[in-house]
């Protein structure tokens, strides 16, 4: 049995930018907001953190700053995946050196690979690291997804702790859990799938919505694990409008807009991401107000 790196709600935190780099003081404020409101873990430099636009220096800077700022209060997971396996190893080794609790690695994008290539690539990485790895399955972005049999093969490696599943494929999830049992932890990668996935055996969620409602996402998970499944499911349904609005445009455009609407400056978005369309901003505002969020 593999102990999960975390249980409950993990925020895929946004990265606040200036015109010249990362606004570290603002990142610190966002981290404190998360911890104050009961988040169970923080993922830095994930997709929601616009990791693909970060320079190597910025990527390392953000990871190190997050680890130091959190100071052991909750687990920190660093996004270190790449379509270049050697670069993923380079980033992962740095994250390991500064003390992260886990590594989040997406499937290789654009050049992609075969299922056999996924096994070879992630085994190569796991053999060279001493920090637990969470595999990230998001085929809508990368163009390639894991099969259950591939998960089974990778679950045999002691450093591969689990998977962030954002495929929305519940047959794949059920098949994976059936094959891998306790040798592969699973977390929801889609906010609106969280309770359903926990019902199948997921340990929680790596959440976009938690950027603006960390307390609610953490409570929804906590209620489930306390056996209050109906209450947890009711929260999932109650928050559906907001969770849907946070994906009305490409993530993280809506959530960074939402953070700003709450009065927490999180800076610019980097091209090709750009400002949200006005009509969609109004939809987002309505969903936020309906969820009880006070706008600045």
Catalytic annotation present for 203 = no
Catalytic annotation present for 164 = yes
Of these residues, 65, 136, 203, 256, which one is catalytic? 136
Return the bridge partners of 37, or none.
Answer: none
How far apart, in whole angstroms, are the C-alpha atoms of residue 109 and residue 246? 23
In order, the DSSP letters of the chain are -PPPS--EEEEE----B-SSSB-HHHHHHHHHHHHHTT-SEEEESSGGGTGGG--HHHHHHHHHHHHHHHTTSS-EEEE---SSHHHHHHHHHHHHHHT-SEEEEEPPPSS---HHHHHHHHHHHHHT--S-EEEEE-HHHHS----HHHHHHHHTSTTEEEEEE-S--HHHHHHHHHHHGGGSEEEESSGGGHHHHHHHT--EEEESGGGT-HHHHHHHHHHHHTT-HHHHHHHHHHTHHHHHHTTSSSTTHHHHHHHHHTT---BPPPTT--PPPHHHHHHHHHHHHHTTPPP-
Of these residues, 26, 164, 203, 256, which one is catalytic? 164
Active site residues: 136, 164
């Amino acid at each position: 049995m593999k102990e999960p790196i975390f249980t409950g709600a993990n925020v895929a935190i946004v990265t606040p930018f200036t015109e010249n780099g990362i606004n570290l003081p603002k990142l610190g404020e966002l981290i404190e907001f998360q911890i104050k409101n009961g988040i169970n873990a923080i993922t830095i430099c994930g997709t929601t953190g616009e990791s693909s636009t970060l320079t190597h220096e910025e990527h390392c800077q953000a990871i190190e700053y997050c680890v130091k700022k959190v100071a052991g209060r909750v687990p920190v997971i660093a996004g270190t995946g790449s379509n270049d396996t050697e670069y993923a190893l380079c980033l992962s080794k740095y994250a390991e050196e500064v003390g992260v609790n886990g590594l989040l690695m997406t499937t290789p994008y654009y050049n992609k690979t075969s299922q056999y290539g996924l096994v070879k690539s992630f085994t190569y990485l796991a053999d060279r690291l001493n920090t637990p790895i969470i595999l990230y399955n998001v085929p809508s972005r990368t163009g390639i997804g894991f099969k259950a049999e591939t998960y089974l093969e990778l679950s045999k490696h002691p450093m591969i702790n689990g998977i962030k599943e954002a495929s929305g494929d519940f047959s794949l999830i059920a098949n994976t859990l059936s094959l891998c049992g306790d040798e592969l932890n699973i977390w929801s990668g889609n906010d609106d799938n969280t309770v359903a996935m926990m019902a199948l055996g997921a340990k929680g969620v790596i959440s976009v919505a938690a950027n603006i409602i960390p307390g609610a996402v953490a409570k929804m998970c906590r209620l489930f694990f306390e056996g209050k499944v109906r209450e947890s499911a009711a929260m999932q349904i109650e928050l559906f409008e907001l969770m849907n609005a946070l994906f009305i445009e490409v993530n993280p455009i809506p959530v960074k807009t939402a953070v700003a609407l709450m009065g927490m400056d999180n800076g610019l978005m980097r091209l090709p991401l750009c400002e949200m369309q006005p009509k969609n901003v109004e939809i987002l505002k309505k969903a936020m107000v309906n969820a009880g969020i006070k706008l600045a």
